[in-house]
Amino acid sequence: MKSARLILLVSLLFLTACGGGSGQPSSPTQASAYIQNKGSDTMVNLALAWAEHYQAGHPDVSLSVTGGGSGTGIAALVNGTVDIANASRAMTADEIKQAEANGIKPVEFVVSRDAIAVIVNSENPVRQLTLQQISDIYSGRINNWSEIGGDNRPIVRLSRETNSGTHVYFLQTVIRLDDTNNKTLFSTDTLLLPSSEGIINEVRQNPNAIGYDGLGYVPPDLMNSVIAVARDASGPYVIPSIATVNDNSYPVARDLYMYTAGEPAGAIKDYINWILSPEAQTIVADLGFVPIKP
């Protein structure tokens, strides 16, 4: 997957004959604007699809898209080394303060929405959990599937790494139950994996595993292994989907963001405006994410 992304990125840069910084004049065979876009691994496939589609109709613009995690993208924005930062969480007050200390005023754009799917191996009979039960699993209070109606098997907890915006969101919203005074942490034996694909692959292979991922990353063969989640034991237990995110019945949904260094102008402004357009939001739905409402 990483190789495929690299090939796509190289191909995009080759096709647009990228040269120079954003807005700098270039020869007729070169792009006249170069936009660097970095951050969330949850969003990287979506960002690559947007870039490829946009460049097809705008050969004067070259787009470089890389992942690395929301924290990586935000740090690059704070340091002034990227034009657009992708993030699957909102910037913190400290990050905004650091950016402003560097003379950068971050501007936030909500560009799509996402559901966090909790997934188990296809052999696991457990198919519904409350938020409290998921919190208890990931904090180490529940350690065997038999405690929640499954087989007598140890639970293997999978998570994204700490630099991931998905990790931060899951910690606050699910493990800490959205309580700012709650200081519960991931169990120390939680396996931290560097990518969404890594979690999917481990869940597919390990009958004891539980993981979480953006809904757009869950492949068809694991859709039947997605857990229905309830806010409490009284239900209802809801499967993540575009419909259940939009009607707010699925309890683990979030906004996805792009941040620019100040109000965007020129090619960056045009690109952001296109991303918010119905044309670009169709791509959001095609990749399993949730389009923003007009």
The CATH number of whichever domain residue 234 belongs to comes to 3.40.190.10
Is the domain of 51 the same as that of 82?
yes
Residues 183 and 135 in one domain: yes
Instruction: Decide if 156 contacts 111 (C-beta within 8 A).
Output: no
What the block records as the tokens of 39 is 């951050």
Residue-level pLDDT, tens digit, the chain, 294 residues: 444 443 344 344 433 333 333 333 333 345 689 999 999 999 999 999 999 999 999 999 999 999 999 999 999 999 999 999 999 999 999 999 999 999 999 999 999 999 999 999 999 999 999 999 999 999 999 999 999 999 999 999 999 999 899 999 999 999 999 999 999 999 999 999 999 999 999 999 999 999 999 998 899 999 999 999 999 999 999 999 999 999 999 999 999 999 999 999 999 999 999 999 999 999 999 999 999 975
Can the peptide bond before residue 236 be classed as cis, meaning omega within 30 degrees of 0?
yes
Q: Same domain, yes or no, for 98 and 173?
A: no
Residue 65, CA distances (Å) to 68, 74, 225, 233, 244 in order: 10, 14, 31, 42, 30
The pairing of beta strand 253-261 with beta strand 84-87: antiparallel
Query: Do β-strands 209-214 and 156-160 pair in parallel, antiparallel, or remain unpaired?
Result: parallel
Nearest CA-CA partner of 252 in 154, 161, 176, 155: 176
Same domain, 55 and 152: no
Same domain, 98 and 23: yes
Q: Does residue 293 form part of some domain? A: no
> Do 255 and 113 contact (CB within 8 A), yes or no?
yes
Write out the residue range of the structural domain in which residue 271 sits. 2-113+255-286
Q: Are residues 168 and 186 in the same domain?
A: yes
Angle at 44 between CA 229 and CA 227, to 5 degrees: 15
Query: Is 294 inside a domain boundary?
Result: no
Could you give the 3-state DSSP secondary structure of residue 87?
strand
Residue 144 is predicted with a pLDDT of 98
Residue 63 in any domain: the answer is yes
Q: What is the structure's pLDDT at 294?
A: 55
Number of domains in the chain: 2
- Considering the domain architecture, whether residues 26 and 82 belong to the same structural domain is answered as yes
Q: Where are the alpha helices (DSSP H) in the chain?
A: 2-16, 41-57, 70-78, 93-101, 131-139, 165-170, 196-205, 242-246, 266-275, 278-286
What pLDDT shows up at residue 293? 74
Q: Does some domain include residue 39?
A: yes
- Please report the pLDDT score of residue 28 as a whole number: 34
**In terms of Cα–Cα distance, which of 262, 283, 261, 287 is closest to 274?**
283
Same-domain status, 104 and 119: no
If we measure between CA atoms, which residue out of 117, 71, 58 comes closest to residue 257?
71
Q: Tell me: do 179 and 263 sit in the same domain.
A: no
Say which DSSP state 293 is in: P
Angle of CA points 244, 293, 69, to nearest 5°? 75
Q: Report if residue 98 sits inside a domain.
A: yes
Assigned domain for 236 exists:
yes
For residues 57 and 175, state if they share a domain. Answer: no
Residue 75 lies in a domain: yes
- Residue 131 sits in the same domain as residue 243: yes
Asked whether residue 249 falls in the same domain as residue 264, the answer is no
Let me know if residue 291 belongs to a domain. Answer: no
